[in-house]
Amino acid sequence: MHISPKKFRNIGLMGRPDKASVVDTLCLIHDHLLGLGLHPVLDSETAELVPFENTQTVSRHLLGEVVDLVIVVGGDGSLLHAARALVKYNTPVLGVNRGRLGFLTDIKPAEVIFKLDQVLKGKFQLDRRFLLELEIRSQNEVIYQAVALNDIVLHSGKSVHMIDFELNIDGQYVYRQHSDGLIVSTPTGSTAYALSGGGPILHPSLDAIALVPMHPHTLSSRPIVVGGQSEIKINIRENRVLPMVSADGQASVSLSVGDSLHIRKHPFKLTLLHPPGYDFYMACRTKLGWNQDFDALQQQDET
């Protein structure tokens, strides 16, 4: 896939301006784009808190249709939210980190103008990420649908009781499990909730899905990695509490006995742009604290 920077004329701005630093960065980018003769466009939710005079505003779910590039300012959660709205338009997305970790929003605020100019001149790395789609079926009827860039999580809500479910992959029975739930993760989500559950880190280029049990009753239950084309089905059995499911940490949906979850790869991919120098392993070292002890010892030796 090739993206020409000459097409970057209409630039979408998106964020969740819940703190002053996000608003400041959105204003900085907005004014810089105008100075370059480009056309910034805000989604309606962002525009409510960052009002610019004479700036075009459209619905968040239509933003990808009218712009050539979207800049998301905030944390990874902001980009997850943007991904679900933009993915069907194949609009490239650039993330500016104003959150905590920043695996997806990888541009540092102090470098935003320099890095943005690099991207607008065509200096960027292309990164395609797949999403998962979820269907809840009750008596063979689809009653709920959602998409997720990170993960789909079956869990027991606020209850301390384990839940009982049955897992099938590509029509083959895998196991019946008692646990706190199951995390079904993309490679993108493997460094998020799935990692805290003991799951493997998957390189973003892999066409694979990780299934990570949450506090399983049996010690032999371990994460499973399957191909990205796999069809995953989870059958809900009778439980003392109502199990729930959530896509990318959105509001959870309750499940009933006999309901089934159907999870597969979403037909559209998210197109991320990274400025020159992006390195997934460097991101892991920085965000996950790899080499921390070694680097500290090295600094002591140098002094």
pLDDT in tens, 14-70: 987 677 888 899 999 999 999 999 999 999 988 887 878 889 999 999 999 999 999
In a domain, 79, yes or no: yes
- Domain-embedded: residue 5: no
In this structure, what CATH number is given to the domain that contains residue 141? Answer: 2.60.200.30
Local confidence band at 160 (pLDDT 50, 70, 90 cut-offs): confident
Nearest residue to 286 via CA among 73, 109, 105, 101: 101
- pLDDT of 256: 94
Q: Is 191 annotated as ligand-binding?
A: yes
| CATH (domain of 117) | 3.40.50.10330
Tell me, yes or no, whether 159 lies in a domain: yes
What confidence score (pLDDT) does residue 36 get? 96
Strands 208-214 and 181-185: antiparallel
Does residue 299 carry a pLDDT above 60?
no
Q: Are residues 178 and 218 in the same domain?
A: yes
Same domain, 288 and 262: no
164 is in an annotated binding site: no
Whether residues 168 and 87 fall in one domain: no
Q: Tell me the catalytic residues.
A: 76
Residue 118, domain member (yes or no):
yes
**Does residue 91 sit in the same domain as residue 196?**
no
Determine whether the annotation assigns residue 68 to a binding site: no
Outline where DSSP puts E strands in 98-207.
Answer: 125-138, 141-148, 151-155, 163-169, 172-179, 181-185
Asked if residue 2 belongs to a known ligand binding site, the reply is no
In tens, the pLDDT along 100-109 reads 777 888 899 9
What whole-number distance in Å separates Cα of residue 88 and Cα of residue 58?
Answer: 16
76 is in an annotated binding site: yes
Regarding whether 103 and 149 lie in a shared domain, the answer is: no
Q: Is position 301 within any domain?
A: no
CA angle 165, 166, 170 (to 5 degrees): 145
Residue 189 included in any domain: yes
Residues 249 and 285 in one domain: no
Is 193 annotated in a binding site? The answer is yes
- Averaged pLDDT score across all residues of the chain: 91
Residues 160 and 230 occupy one common structural domain:
yes
Other C-beta atoms lying within 10 Å of the C-beta of residue 163: 25
Q: Which domain holds residue 96?
A: 10-124+275-296
Looking at the fold, whether 239 and 190 belong to one and the same domain comes out as yes
pLDDT above 90 for 268: yes
Quick check: 295 and 175 in contact, CB under 8 A? no
Query: What is the count of structural domains for the chain?
Result: 2
- Does residue 2 belong to any structural domain of this protein? no
The answer to whether residue 30 is domain-embedded is yes
Q: Can you tell me the distance from the alpha carbon of 161 to that of 180, in angstroms, rounded to the nearest whole number? A: 7
251 a known binding residue?
Answer: no
pLDDT over 70 at 140, yes or no: yes
pLDDT category of residue 158 using cuts at 50, 70 and 90 = confident
Note whether 69 and 114 are same-domain residues: yes
Give CA–CA dist 13/38, Å, rounded.
12
112, 90: one domain: yes
Q: 190-205: per-residue pLDDT in tens?
A: 999 999 999 999 999 9
**296 carries a ligand binding annotation:** no
**Is the same domain home to 250 and 287?**
no
| Strands, E assignment, 28-106 | 39-43, 56-58, 69-74, 93-97
196 marked ligand binding residue: yes
Shared domain for 148 and 183, answered yes or no, is yes
